[in-house]
Amino acid sequence: MNKADLIAEAMRLPSEERLQLSEDLWNSVIDDEQWMPTPDDLAEARRRLEEHRRNPSAAIPVERVLARLQSRFG
């Protein structure tokens, strides 16, 4: 099975199972000791944090993000 087939099969799962699958996949990456953020990743995270600290009102509330995702993906 190739990646496209695997994705197509996963997309047929109910949303709760897709969410669990994504968590399982993400956790498998985090648990991999070889995975580490790059210096560029860390620099971007620091930049975003500093941007948020300068203007926290620009952040999008999680409720709005979740509502947007729900309306887009069901």
Domain range list for the chain = 1-36, 37-74
Q: What is the pTM of this model?
A: 0.46
- Give the pLDDT of residue 32: 79
| Burial (CB count <10 Å: 0-12, 13-18, 19+), residue 18 | middle
Judge whether 35 and 29 are in contact, CB under 8 Å.
yes
Tell which wins on pLDDT, 21 or 74. 21
- Give the pLDDT of residue 36: 81
For the stretch 32-69, pLDDT in tens is: 777 788 899 999 999 999 999 999 999 999 999 999 99
Residue type, 13: L
Judge whether 18 and 11 are in contact, CB under 8 Å.
yes
Backbone angles phi, psi at 35, to 5 degrees: -80, 125
Q: What is the CA radius of gyration of the chain?
A: 17
